Amino acid sequence: MDRAALAKECLEAIRLWPGCETVKEIGILANGPSDFLVRVIEYGAAVKRKADRAALCVQREKSRAYHLAP
C-alpha cells in the first residue's frame, strides 16, 4: 500500500471516532515497510487529546494489517 492511500484510510478511520469528525489533516511518518507513525497535523474543532488517542489506535490497527510500498 502506498503512503497516500494509507493516509486517506487512516484519516477516514480517525474521523469515525466521536469528537474527531473535524480532523482536517494527518501525516504518515515511515521508517520502513511496517514501521510507520500516524500523527494529527490539523485538528479543526476536534479535541486534541481525543484526536491523538484516535490516531494511536488507528496506527496500531493499520500497522497490523498493512505494509507500505517503497
Print the domain residue range for 39: 3-65
Residues 35-67: tens digit of each pLDDT: 889 999 999 999 999 999 999 999 988 888 876
Radius of gyration of the chain (CA): 11
9, part of any domain = yes
Residue percentage of the chain with pLDDT more than 90: 66
- Say how far apart CA 56 and CA 7 lie, in whole Å: 13
Local structure of 39: helix, strand or coil: strand
According to the model, what pLDDT value does residue 63 have? 84
Q: How many domains does the structure of the chain reveal?
A: 1
What is the mean predicted confidence (pLDDT) over 24-35? Answer: 84
Average pLDDT, the chain: 90
Q: What is the pLDDT of residue 66?
A: 75
d(CA 64, CA 28) in angstroms, rounded, equals: 15
49 located within any domain: yes
Q: What is the DSSP letter of 18?
A: T
